[in-house]
């Protein structure tokens, strides 16, 4: 693999397993006196390749969600003098958090800059699936369009329908509000914890609509996932991936959904049993799905690409310049702050890190409490971008 070195005179060595967008993240690491070594390959690095890159001396690392950071890598990082790892992602299902904590290595992530961006992609997939955009575009590009027809690509109207949110963290909440505010959809959500802010905002919107002589919109947390699946016209997944949510949507639960329902996933691929989804979509041609993530990414389960009633995009939900550069800033700020001995931010609002003056803190360390790291402003509130379904 080809590696590029930046600030070769830096006294602390940090490896970065992929080239990251923007330049401010490098300035942050330079200011922390870091020598930064960046892998320039687009291929996912294997654990052996990452361990080789860590070598005998490495103070910190920034890794990717495509890499399995577990016992082997954290042991190697600790042996090399490593003091911090940051995942270039809001999720950290690729990280063995317990192993990192055993080796006393803080693990950073990048919440707060993906929220609206990811929610927007969920909206885009929702309407692309509902209005059969992918099918229609392929039809047109193939030269099959000979003129307007009354029955050409009839899709679904979502206005005033019911949307179901699985996981009402910040991204799920943002998506719910977009659908309620923009398309007057009623909200059902399923999450371990109530989301009073979401419920209050939809209630306020309902009162406003009533004041204008319109029917209100509603928001309700369901007691069970099955209730949400059976009642929703569209279901959008925004939960973390862990042992409890693996194949959360399986053949049995797909059968509970309406025959013409929509299923949207911008969280993690293995939340859906992809083979079961392929079989369900073949059996129910009016059922539609929009997927940004896949179970065996980057591979797709056999038959998925052949389905006209599925919209698929290559894991681009966070792919705006502003968001991806912001993620790089947060990942670098996590590493730089820990190497300087700064405390953890301890707030859900990370926007100060996106300004010119960087706070002297690590924006987000997910195992900060377990490691007993000092916090800038007390206890962290509800900061998860993805909703939690089970304890």
Kindly give the residue spans of alpha helices, DSSP state H, lying in the chain. 24-31, 47-54, 71-79, 97-102, 115-130, 133-141, 170-183, 196-211, 225-231, 251-254, 274-283, 321-340, 368-371
Residue 356 confidence class, pLDDT cut points 50, 70, 90: confident
- Summarize the confidence of residues 166-187 as an average pLDDT: 97
Domains 3-113+319-371 and 115-312 share a fold: yes
Does the bond joining 298 to the residue before it have cis omega, within 30 degrees of 0?
Answer: yes
Q: Which residues contact 165 (CB under 8 A, 6 or more apart)?
A: 172, 173, 175, 176, 187, 188, 189, 190, 191, 228, 235, 236, 238, 387
- Pick the closest to residue 76 from 98, 101, 103 (CA basis): 103
Would you say 61 and 54 are in contact if contact means Cβ atoms under 8 Å apart?
yes
Q: Which residues contact 322 (CB under 8 A, 6 or more apart)?
A: 113, 117
The domain locations on the chain are 3-113+319-371, 115-312
**pLDDT (tens digit, 9 = 90+) per residue, 32-63?**
999 999 999 999 999 999 999 999 999 999 99
Residue 391 confidence class, pLDDT cut points 50, 70, 90: very low
Which among 220, 247, 315, 340 is annotated as catalytic? Answer: 315
Residue 385 confidence class, pLDDT cut points 50, 70, 90: low
Q: In what helix (H) or strand (E) does residue 263 lie, and over which residues does it extend?
A: strand 262-265
Residue 91 confidence class, pLDDT cut points 50, 70, 90: confident
- CA count, 13 A, side-chain hemisphere, 2: 4
Q: Which residues of 304-335 are buried (b: 16+ CB within 10 A; e: fewer)?
A: beebebbbbbebebbebeebbbbbbbbbbbbb
Mean pLDDT score of the chain: 95
Residue 386 pLDDT exceeds 70 = no
Structure confidence at residue 388 (pLDDT) = 53
Q: Which residues contact 58 (CB under 8 A, 6 or more apart)?
A: 13, 14, 15, 77, 80, 81, 82
**pLDDT (tens digit, 9 = 90+) per residue, 122-134?**
999 999 999 999 9
Which among 177, 268, 280, 324 is annotated as catalytic? Answer: 268
Which among 49, 120, 181, 297 is annotated as catalytic? Answer: 297
Annotated active-site residue 382? The verdict is: no
* CATH number, span 3-113+319-371: 3.40.50.720
Would you say 84 and 335 are in contact if contact means Cβ atoms under 8 Å apart?
yes
Annotated active-site residue 315? The verdict is: yes
**pLDDT (tens digit, 9 = 90+) per residue, 207-253?**
999 999 999 999 999 999 999 999 999 999 999 999 999 999 999 99
Structure confidence at residue 149 (pLDDT) = 97
pTM: predicted TM-score of the whole model, two decimal places: 0.90
Residue 14 pLDDT exceeds 80 = yes
Percent of all residues in the chain with a pLDDT value above 70, rounded to a whole number: 96
CA distances for 252 relative to 169, 249, 279, 307, angstroms = 25, 8, 12, 20
Percent of all residues in the chain with a pLDDT value above 90, rounded to a whole number: 94
Annotated active-site residue 11? The verdict is: no
In terms of CATH architecture, what is 115-312?
3-Layer(aba) Sandwich (3.40)
């Amino acid at each position: 693999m080809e590696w590029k070195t930046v600030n070769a005179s830096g006294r602390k060595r940090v490896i970065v397993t992929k080239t990251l967008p923007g330049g401010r993240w490098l300035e942050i690491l330079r200011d922390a006196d870091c020598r930064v070594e960046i892998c320039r390959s687009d291929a996912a690095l294997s654990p052996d390749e990452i361990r080789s890159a860590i070598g005998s001396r490495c103070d910190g690392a920034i890794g990717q969600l495509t890499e399995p950071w577990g016992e082997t890598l954290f042991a190697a990082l600790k042996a090399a003098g490593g003091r911090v790892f940051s995942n270039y992602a809001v999720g950290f299902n690729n990280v063995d958090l317990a192993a990192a904590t055993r080796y006393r290595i803080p693990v950073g992530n990048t919440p707060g800059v993906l929220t609206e961006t990811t929610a927007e992609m969920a909206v885009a997939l929702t309407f692309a699936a509902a209005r059969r955009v992918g099918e229609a575009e392929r039809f047109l590009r193939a030269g099959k369009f000979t003129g307007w027809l009354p029955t050409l690509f009839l899709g679904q109207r979502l206005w005033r329908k019911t949307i179901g949110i699985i996981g009402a963290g910040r991204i799920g909440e943002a998506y719910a509000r977009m659908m309620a505010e923009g398309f007057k959809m009623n909200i059902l959500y399923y999450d371990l914890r109530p989301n009073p802010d979401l419920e209050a905002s939809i209630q306020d919107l309902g009162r406003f609509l009533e004041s204008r002589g319109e029917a209100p919109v509603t928001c309700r947390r369901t007691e069970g996932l099955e209730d949400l699946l059976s009642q929703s016209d569209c279901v959008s997944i925004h939960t973390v991936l862990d042992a409890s949510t693996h194949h959360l949507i399986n053949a049995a639960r797909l059968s509970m959904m309406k025959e013409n329902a929509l299923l949207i996933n911008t969280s993690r691929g293995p939340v859906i049993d992809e083979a079961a989804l392929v079989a369900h979509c073949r059996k129910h041609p009016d059922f539609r799905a929009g997927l940004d993530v896949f179970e065996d990414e980057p591979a797709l389960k056999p038959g998925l690409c052949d389905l006209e009633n599925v919209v698929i995009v290559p894991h681009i939900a966070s792919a705006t310049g502003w968001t991806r550069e912001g993620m790089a800033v947060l990942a670098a700020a996590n590493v730089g702050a820990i190497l300087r001995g700064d405390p953890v931010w301890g707030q859900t609002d990370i926007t100060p890190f996106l300004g010119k003056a960087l706070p002297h803190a690590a924006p987000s360390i997910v195992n900060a409490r377990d490691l007993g790291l000092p916090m800038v402003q007390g206890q962290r509130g509800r900061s998860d971008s993805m909703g939690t379904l089970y304890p």
